[in-house]
Amino acid sequence: MATFPSKEWCQEAVRLTNADPEVSLAGQGWVGDFGAIIDAEPGRLSKAFVVHVVPRDGRIEKLRVLDDPDDLDEFEPAYVARAPYSVWKQLLQGSLDPVEAVLRRRIAVKGDLQPLIERMRYKGLADRVFAQLKTEYVDEK
């Protein structure tokens, strides 16, 4: 069981994502890389966790775990999503809808939102992939 957030958890998420044929089809034609920042929260997560993901041809081609949110500037990702640890945890557990999280400004997203909105019909695929990922949360250890 992988601990969220960790490099091992991200690697398993990428493996499951790349193994899913529907996710691969949904990602065809996608343009733009992603940065995700999981902000620290006292008593839950002591240090921010930052990843950079590069999709290509319906698969995740590259995953980088970075030391600091400012390190994302080097890659200039097309999209950056940022939220506190507890918000990411709720998203992964399915207790918070990603669209609602953005609309209520619980998660900040930078980048052209139109392509993301057009692909919202696929959000159930992400839910399915994450449901397969056995996760232990850092604040529950």
What residues make up the domain containing 78?
2-140
Give the pLDDT score at 7: 97
Q: Which helix (H) or strand (E) holds 3?
A: strand 2-4
- Enter the pTM of the model: 0.92
Give per-residue pLDDT as tens, 37-59: 999 999 999 999 999 999 998 89
Number of compact structural domains in the chain: 1
Give the pLDDT score at 79: 95
Which CATH number does the domain housing residue 108 bear?
A: 3.30.1050.10
Give per-residue pLDDT as tens, 123-134: 778 888 888 899
- Contact between 21 and 15 (Cβ < 8 Å): no
